[in-house]
């Protein structure tokens, strides 16, 4: 599913409390292929990639129940 919310941040805030072990948030650029598997949601963020990474890392760091593991390609 592709979600093109005007402001994508509330979607992250709403989903993060539901996440736990083995859930992934991938912040990728437009060259990343669209994932179409069940349970995968693509959220388009109309901002600089570094801004999206900062927001997601900040949200994950603020969540008491998850810890980030960052992979960089």
pLDDT of residue 1: 56
- 73 confidence band (pLDDT: 50, 70, 90): confident
pTM score: 0.82
- 46 confidence band (pLDDT: 50, 70, 90): confident
Give buried/exposed letters for 16-46 (b at 16+ CB in 10 A, else e): beeeeeeeebebeeeeeeeeeeeeeeebebe
């Amino acid at each position: 599913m592709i979600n093109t919310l005007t402001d994508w941040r509330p979607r992250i805030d709403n989903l993060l409390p539901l996440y736990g072990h083995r859930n992934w948030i991938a912040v990728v650029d437009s060259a990343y292929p669209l994932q179409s598997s069940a349970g995968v949601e693509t959220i388009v963020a109309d901002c600089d990639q570094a801004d999206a990474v900062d927001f997601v890392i900040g949200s994950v760091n603020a969540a008491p129940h998850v810890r980030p593991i960052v992979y960089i390609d």
